Amino acid sequence: MTGALAAGLLAGYGIAVPVGAIAAYLVSLTARTNLRTGACAALGVATADGLYALAAVAGGAALAPLIRTVQTPLRWTAAAVLLALAAHGTVRTLRRRHAPRAAEPELPGHRAYLGLLWLTLLNPITVVYFAALVLGGGETVSGTAQRAVFAAAAFAASASWQLLLAGGGALLGRALTGPRGRLATGLTSSLLIGGLAVRLALSG
């Protein structure tokens, strides 16, 4: 059981820590709304990681080839969604650069949660990553209880990191409340997300 716990924690941090488009969007979202909205979005990302971890330990070797067959359309769909987010963020930043900072979140917490959950689930690399870990781990994760522990640990690890990113976004939002600060962070975030979307589309 301890081995499954350690493996799940390592797997969760392994997929969560590398900074990508999801992390950039999470920080930007929290910076322009508030910590509550960012925390809901962070838990959406962590839920997707936990679900993929559970699917990987449940399906094992059968899942990776299945996901690889639809990897290209999923990659293009994810890239299109990220480009749309980048464009939307740019337009919103330019329109609101002289407006006072809103005190209330721009979207409810449940919408932030579901939006980031869906966006993270589009990433086929996540399930292939977890499936590869399970295949390489051999007997480390076997049995219903150990699989549940592995998935829960992966969720907890991912959640702790995503919440840390959301906290960073909240601090950034408080520090850069002026029009120029919001303009710079908004455009930088959109540019980063757009660049990562192009990289995702061109990869593989």
> Which token pair is 33?
């709304």
pLDDT at 64 over 90: no
Q: Residues 134, 57: contact at Cβ < 8 Å?
A: yes
pTM for the full model? Answer: 0.69
Tens digit of each residue's pLDDT (9 = 90 or more) over 114-163: 989 988 887 666 666 666 665 555 445 667 788 788 889 889 999 999 99
DSSP 60: G
Tens digit of each residue's pLDDT (9 = 90 or more) over 148-160: 888 898 899 999 9
- CA R_g for the chain: 18
Residues 6+ away with beta carbon under 8 Å from 45: 16, 22, 26, 116, 117, 120, 158, 162
Report the pLDDT averaged over residues 89-93.
74
Provide the number of structural domains found in the chain. Answer: 1
What is the span of the domain harbouring residue 182?
2-202
Residue 33 has φ and ψ, to the nearest 5°, of -120, -105
